[in-house]
Amino acid sequence: MSEVMTQVPDVARLFAERALDACASYWERGATEMWLGQPLFRIAGTTHDQLVPDGVSNPYWEVIRQMPSTDERRWQGVTPYGYEPNLGIGRNGVVSTYSWSIPSPGDIAWITDVLAGRGVVEVGAGSGYWAWQLAQAGTDVVAYEPNEVADNKFVDVIEPYHPLLRGDASAAGKHPDRALFMSWPNYAEPWATHALTAYQGDLLIYVGETHGGCCGDDDFFDLLDAEWDEIGDSPHHRTWWGINCRLIAYRRKQSAAVQGGEGA
Ligand SMILES: C[S@@+](CC[C@H](N)C(=O)[O-])C[C@H]1O[C@@H](n2cnc3c(N)ncnc32)[C@H](O)[C@@H]1O
Confidence of residue 5 (pLDDT cuts 50, 70, 90): confident
Q: How far apart are CA 38 and CA 109, in angstroms?
A: 30
Listed residue (109, 119, 124) closest to 215, CA to CA: 124
Task: Please say if the pLDDT value at position 261 is more than 60.
Answer: no
Are 66 and 225 a contacting pair, CB within 8 Å? no
Listed residue (181, 160, 196) closest to 118, CA to CA: 181
103 CA → ligand 1 middle, Å: 16
Are 161 and 194 a contacting pair, CB within 8 Å? no
Dihedral of the CA atoms 190, 126, 80, 28 (nearest 10)?
Answer: -160
Q: Select the more confidently predicted residue: 52 or 262.
A: 52
Q: How far apart are CA 182 and CA 130, in angstroms?
A: 9
Q: Does an H or E element contain 101, and which?
A: none
Are 38 and 72 a contacting pair, CB within 8 Å? yes
Q: How far apart are CA 208 and CA 40, in angstroms?
A: 24
State the pLDDT at residue 70.
86
Judge if the beta carbon of residue 126 lies within 6 A of ligand 1. Answer: yes
State the pLDDT at residue 99.
97
Q: How far apart are CA 20 and CA 185, in angstroms?
A: 29
Are 218 and 94 a contacting pair, CB within 8 Å? no
Judge if the beta carbon of residue 96 lies within 6 A of ligand 1. Answer: no
Are 126 and 100 a contacting pair, CB within 8 Å? yes
Judge if the beta carbon of residue 123 lies within 6 A of ligand 1. Answer: yes
Q: Note the pTM of the prediction, 2 decimals.
A: 0.94
Other Cβ atoms closer than 10 A to 256: 12
Give the tens place of pLDDT for each residue, 62-89. 999 999 998 876 666 788 887 777 788 8
Superfamily (CATH H level) for 105-256: Vaccinia Virus protein VP39 (3.40.50.150)
Averaged pLDDT, 106-131: 98
Judge if the beta carbon of residue 145 lies within 6 A of ligand 1. Answer: yes
Q: Strands, E, within 25-163: which ranges? A: 34-35, 38-39, 69-72, 77-80, 120-122, 141-145
- The single-letter code of the amino acid at 259 is Q
- % of the chain exceeding 90 in pLDDT: 74
Domain boundaries, the chain: 10-97, 105-256
Buried-exposed string 214-246: b where 16+ CB fall within 10 A, e elsewhere: ebbbeebbebbeebbeeeebbebbbbbbebbbb
State the pLDDT at residue 123.
98
Q: Select the more confidently predicted residue: 173 or 39.
A: 173
Q: How far apart are CA 62 and CA 51, in angstroms?
A: 9
Q: How far apart are CA 16 and CA 63, in angstroms?
A: 6
126 CA → ligand 1 middle, Å: 5
Judge if the beta carbon of residue 181 lies within 6 A of ligand 1. Answer: no
Question: Which of 94, 132, 142, 145 best tests ligand 1's pocket when mutated (most atoms within 8 Å of CB)?
Answer: 145
Judge if the beta carbon of residue 99 lies within 6 A of ligand 1. Answer: yes
